């Protein structure tokens, strides 16, 4: 089936959803802030669910608020599923996650309007709390969908602002009754912006994503002795901030020594009491390290843990650490990657196989069905920032490739294709 998606309709929906929780960045860029399970997330959900209902899709909502909308179909067969997330970081752009959900809706609307019968249904979902910025870990909803965490465990998770996941989910009205883990789809494919610079720099239109690098998040708290900043001699301090800055500088050195694709980030820091003339009582910070090779990642985690212990001991501090997220690297199904690559070529779009630096819901669905992803270029590689931009033509091209891939997957019997 050669079906053209309606690019204008996709762009309009992206605009409309971006208005919910709209923010303006430092340079006047328009972004969105819909942290998971906030009122804004709830309003965004209501809008997308309304669009799903308008199309007559069967909607299921599970115990962590994952929403899956499936095309009615006489076969009763498992669907080809797409989807992503509509929660954002607090400084979010308009496309991260939203593109994958609304492109999926667009594919389904195009297929239903064309009236052609597929061998099996299509489905589009949005998974709760992909970002993990409020409730760690990231990809929490899709992790539960794929059976990697129970609903009960998820409901008891505390946000960085202290709120309980289950209470916040109730308050936005998205605690549903659909079973968890969710039913395994026939296959899963997710369209996402690259969120990095590679496609733009190499002037390539489509990324056929081969896998996702391993992710490790740790929360560290260093406790010392709060005291007067003017009277306490340097040699007599137990200063958690001084230790934190040494750890930060050393982390950079470790990451640079290992080289690409190793990355390391201290993204969140809290000093208590955070005052100009007070040696802090505590420093709490997060360490995010990622690599495509799990061995390397394990070694980096060990090295960073030893570094933290050593520096804390030098400063006479107590250390508490908590793992917030740990996901091994994921390799996508080569048969699906091959379909993505071929679909791009058939549309005469340049295409490159590449790994993903960011975490995605597809990496969780890969546990239960053949999965892969389609990337579309990010201008200047900027993301998690209101300045996140993808050109309209690239958004539409990505949606078109998603459509072609989903239609092909609907006719693919994986056992035979092996």
Peptide bond into 261 cis (omega under 30): yes
Picked from ligand GLV, Mn ion, none, the partner binding residue 408 (CB below 5 to 8 A depending on kind) is: none
- Using CB under 6 A as the binding rule, the residues of this chain from 305 to 364 that contact ligand GLV are 358-359
Stretch that binds Mn ion, among 90-98, 155-163, 261-269, 303-311 (CB under 5 A): 90-98
Whichever of 51 and 332 has its CB closer to ligand GLV, that residue is 332
Whichever of 110 and 390 has its CB closer to ligand GLV, that residue is 390
Whichever of 51 and 188 has its CB closer to ligand GLV, that residue is 188
Whichever of 182 and 359 has its CB closer to ligand GLV, that residue is 359
Which residue from 97, 121, 166, 280 is in contact with Mn ion, where contact means CB under 5 A?
Answer: 97
Picked from ligand GLV, Mn ion, none, the partner binding residue 100 (CB below 5 to 8 A depending on kind) is: none
Binding mask 114-133 for ligand GLV (x = CB under 6 A): ----------------xx--
Can you tell me the distance from the alpha carbon of 401 to that of 218, in angstroms, rounded to the nearest whole number? 37
What are residue 83's DSSP bridge partners? 125
Burial of residue 22 (number of CB atoms within 10 Å: 0-12, 13-18, 19+): middle
- Per CB under 6 A, 403 contacts ligand GLV: no
Which residue from 40, 87, 96, 106 is in contact with Mn ion, where contact means CB under 5 A?
Answer: 96
Picked from Mn ion, ligand GLV, none, the partner binding residue 97 (CB below 5 to 8 A depending on kind) is: Mn ion
Picked from ligand GLV, Mn ion, none, the partner binding residue 359 (CB below 5 to 8 A depending on kind) is: ligand GLV
Binding mask 308-327 for Mn ion (x = CB under 5 A): --------------------
Q: How far is the CB of 342 from Mn ion (least distance, A)?
A: 25
Tokens of 305: 């843990």
Stretch that binds Mn ion, among 89-97, 275-283, 363-371, 392-400 (CB under 5 A): 89-97
Whichever of 13 and 384 has its CB closer to ligand GLV, that residue is 384
- Per CB under 5 A, 132 contacts Mn ion: no
* Backbone φ, ψ for residue 307 (5° rounding): -60, -45
Decide: 289 and 264 in contact? Cβ < 8 Å: yes
Can you tell me the distance from the alpha carbon of 211 to that of 254, in angstroms, rounded to the nearest whole number? 24
What are residue 320's DSSP bridge partners? 221
Whichever of 186 and 291 has its CB closer to ligand GLV, that residue is 291
Whichever of 96 and 129 has its CB closer to Mn ion, that residue is 96
- Per CB under 5 A, 129 contacts Mn ion: no
What are residue 327's DSSP bridge partners? 215
Decide: 172 and 45 in contact? Cβ < 8 Å: yes
C-beta atoms surrounding 181 within 10 Å: 17
- Per CB under 6 A, 40 contacts ligand GLV: no
Which residue from 41, 138, 190, 301 is in contact with ligand GLV, where contact means CB under 6 A?
Answer: 138
How many residues touch ligand GLV (CB under 6 A)?
A: 5
- Using CB under 6 A as the binding rule, the residues of this chain from 220 to 249 that contact ligand GLV are none
Q: How far is the CB of 337 from ligand GLV (least distance, A)?
A: 20
Whichever of 266 and 307 has its CB closer to Mn ion, that residue is 266
Whichever of 90 and 229 has its CB closer to ligand GLV, that residue is 90
Chain contacts with ligand GLV (rule: CB under 6 A): 130-131, 138, 358-359
Chain contacts with Mn ion (rule: CB under 5 A): 96-97
């Amino acid at each position: 089936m050669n079906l053209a998606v309606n690019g204008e309709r996709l762009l309009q929906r992206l605009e409309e959803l971006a208005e919910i929780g709209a923010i303006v960045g430092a340079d006047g860029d328009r972004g969105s802030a819909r942290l998971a399970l906030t009122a804004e997330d709830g309003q965004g959900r209501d809008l997308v669910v309304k669009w799903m209902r308008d199309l007559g899709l069967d909607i299921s909502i599970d115990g962590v608020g994952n929403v899956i909308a499936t095309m009615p179909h006489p076969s009763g067969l498992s669907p080809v599923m797409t989807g992503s997330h509509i929660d954002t970081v607090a400084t979010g752009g308009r496309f991260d996650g939203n593109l994958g959900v609304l492109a999926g809706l667009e594919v389904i609307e195009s297929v239903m309007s064309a009236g052609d019968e597929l061998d099996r249904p299509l489905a589009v979902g949005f998974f709760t709390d992909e970002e993990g910025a409020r409730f760690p870990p990231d990809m929490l909803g899709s992790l539960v969908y794929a059976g990697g965490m129970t609903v009960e465990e998820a409901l008891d998770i505390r946000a960085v602002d202290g709120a309980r996941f289950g209470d916040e989910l109730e308050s936005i009205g998205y605690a549903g009754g659909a079973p968890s883990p969710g039913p395994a789809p026939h296959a899963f494919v997710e369209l996402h912006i690259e969120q990095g610079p590679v496609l733009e720099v190499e002037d390539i239109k489509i990324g056929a994503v081969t896998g996702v690098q391993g992710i490790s998040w740790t929360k560290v708290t260093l406790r010392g002795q709060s005291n007067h900043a003017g009277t306490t001699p340097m040699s007599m301090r137990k200063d958690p901030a001084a230790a934190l800055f040494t750890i930060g500088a050393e982390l950079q050195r470790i990451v640079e020594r290992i080289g690409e694709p190793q990355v390391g980030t201290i993204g969140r820091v809290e000093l208590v009491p955070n005052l100009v003339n007070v040696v802090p009582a505590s420093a709490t910070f997060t360490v995010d390290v990622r690599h495509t090779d799990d061995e390397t990642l394990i070694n980096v985690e060990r090295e960073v843990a030893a570094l933290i212990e050593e520096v804390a001991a030098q400063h006479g501090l107590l250390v508490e650490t908590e793992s917030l997220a740990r996901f091994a690297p994921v390799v996508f199904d080569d048969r699906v990657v091959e379909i993505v690559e071929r679909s791009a070529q058939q549309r005469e779009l340049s295409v490159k196989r590449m790994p993903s630096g960011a975490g995605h819901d597809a990496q969780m669905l890969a546990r239960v069905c053949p999965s892969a992803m389609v990337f579309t270029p990010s201008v200047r590689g900027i993301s998690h920032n209101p300045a996140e931009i993808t050109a309209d033509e690239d958004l539409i091209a990505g949606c078109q490739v998603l459509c072609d891939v989903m239609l092909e997957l609907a006719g693919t019997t994986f056992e035979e294709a092996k």
